Structure 1
């Protein structure tokens, strides 16, 4: 591998001149700069990222921890993070926690030892749980995204799940449905709590009674939606509409309904949550609450870089607002 000394020898200049040209640390005449750059190109010289990071005390690398899940929501957020890192000249190191707390803690230690400039956390299995690892690295900025552990010094990027849940339920009510049920996510997670609380509030605001038999807690996965819908179907009565608290469960629920001869939306209107990309290609196309997943990732990167640049030293909460995507899985009550 070529070095600056090799370039200096070929260009007929000093090693310090080569350094100034490549690192743009001092003015060098156009003629000499051209000779140095031509020599560097001829020798296929590549600057050492390690040497540069040691000199600048920056690695231009960001670490991200995310819970492995079948839910495409997480992949779509990661896409926003990776693209934003690329545009800002940063590399991304992605670690999957596999839902294992110890693996997550080990990954954090590994990333910090590799001297990443900052960390983003999106780990459902650690939601709300405090992390003490960062006490040893007080200068490393941290951003917690939507689902994540508690890091007191971190910025938090959140979806307004309460507003989204209310919006979903009100859409069904506006269509004339008064028999409305809900398949929730795990209610120990704050996003599931917020969506379910909004569901109950929307019913109360419109003087519609809550039927506990039509409320089933599930797990945010397709299998959970399928199981919850089967449980509803086996009960004595069925609602005319359901708010299902994420699109993955909605997919499983629609599959179960179809197997039992229940048509969506003719027999049962369904609203999901997340607006994952495949939601619009389902049959029927899923009415759902759109989370700005790309903007969620972009906002996390921007918040992290702002901390690195000293533009914001106070922990902040950035909340992104959801929107309703009305498609074919809901219809007016006859």
Structure 2
């Protein structure tokens, strides 16, 4: 196996010149650069990532922690992070918690022991358990996505879920709906709590009554949406429109509505949240609130890289604004026309 000394000898330059060419740490003339790269190719030289990290005191690796879910929302965020890692020459270590607190702590310890340069965290357990991930480790630059308050220093990037919930409900009201229900996620999750709060505020601003029978909790998954809607249906009279606080639950609602012989949107208008890729291909295509998952991942990477490169001490809080996507699952309320 060729070494950096072999490359230097082949190219007739110093080992430091080879290092500068490969790491782009100093200007080297085009002629010398070409000689070095030719030698690298001729000798099939592969630089040692471990040696490089020891010398530069970084690993060029980020750790990312997510709560495992069948929701493609997470996959689209990870895709944005991975794209940026590839573009900037970083490695990514991806870990799942599956909602398990012990697994969360194990993964955090593992990532920090591997001396990652920074952390990207997207896990509600961090908030729910009130933990300080750096209690036993030297802090590293960290970005938390789509979560609430943390007990450790970190930049935060999140969707304005309150605003999104308000926009969704306001849209239903503008379509003439006054009898509106809501299937929300677990209220111990900050995103679910804020979306539901936005719903309530929009109803309050429009002087509309919130019917408690039409407010049903679920778990942010397809099955949860189906079970929640079946429970709502069993109570008797239905609202004319329903704000379902994520697209996965909305899929479950639409499926259960079909099983119960209801037509969407003729019998019930539905608006979701997230705008996952499959939302446009559902039947009917889902009107929803869009948040850019891919951009969220890219923004998280860029923010983390900025914190590392600038060595800033302050923590940023970045809020991405949601937008409405109109499709076919909502129609004007005929009862008011």
TM-score (norm 1): 0.94
Per the alignment, in what secondary structure is the counterpart of residue 52 of structure 2? helix
Per the alignment, in what secondary structure is the counterpart of residue 98 of structure 1? coil
Partner of 1:64: 64
For residues 212-251 of structure 1, the aligned pairs below 5 Å read 212-251=212-251
For residues 118-267 of structure 1, the aligned pairs below 5 Å read 118-147=118-147, 150-267=150-267
Give the direction of change, closer, same or farther, for the CA distance of 1:4–1:329 in structure 2 (3 Å limit).
same
TM-score (norm 2): 0.93
Partner of 1:102: 102
Q: Does 1:115 align with 2:106?
A: no
Q: Which runs of 5+ in 1 are unaligned?
A: none
For residues 285-304 of structure 1, the aligned pairs below 5 Å read 285-304=285-304
Deviations 1:223-273 (A, max 9, x none): 000001111111121111000000000000000001111110000000000
Inter-partner Cα distance in structure 2 for 1:150 and 1:311: 20
Inter-partner Cα distance in structure 1 for 2:142 and 2:15: 39
Give the direction of change, closer, same or farther, for the CA distance of 1:177–1:28 in structure 2 (3 Å limit).
closer
Deviations 1:7-30 (A, max 9, x none): 244345554554455455667676
Q: Does 1:279 align with 2:279?
A: yes
Deviations 1:78-110 (A, max 9, x none): 111111222222111111112111111111111
Give the direction of change, closer, same or farther, for the CA distance of 1:16–1:250 in structure 2 (3 Å limit).
closer
CA shift for structure 1 position 126: 3.2
Task: State which drifts further: 218-227 or 77-86.
Answer: 77-86
Per the alignment, in what secondary structure is the counterpart of residue 273 of structure 1? coil
Deviations 1:156-211 (A, max 9, x none): 10100000000000111111111100001001111111111111111111111010
Inter-partner Cα distance in structure 1 for 2:193 and 2:29: 64
Q: Which runs of 5+ in 2 are unaligned?
A: none
Inter-partner Cα distance in structure 2 for 1:82 and 1:266: 41
Contact 1:123 / 1:149 at 8 angstroms: preserved in 2?
A: no
Inter-partner Cα distance in structure 1 for 2:299 and 2:25: 32
Partner of 1:52: 52
CA shift for structure 1 position 53: 1.1
Deviations 1:108-167 (A, max 9, x none): 111111111000110123334333231444441111100367243101101000000000
For residues 18-37 of structure 1, the aligned pairs below 5 Å read 18-23=18-23, 33-37=33-37
Task: State which drifts further: 52-61 or 317-326.
Answer: 52-61
CA shift for structure 1 position 5: 2.5
Contact 1:131 / 1:149 at 8 angstroms: preserved in 2?
A: no
CA shift for structure 1 position 310: 2.1
Per the alignment, in what secondary structure is the counterpart of residue 302 of structure 1? helix
Task: State which drifts further: 22-31 or 201-210.
Answer: 22-31
Task: State which drifts further: 119-128 or 144-153.
Answer: 144-153
Note the aligned Cα RMSD (angstroms). 1.9
Partner of 1:330: 330
How many residues end up aligned between the 2 structures? 334
Q: Does 1:306 align with 2:306?
A: yes
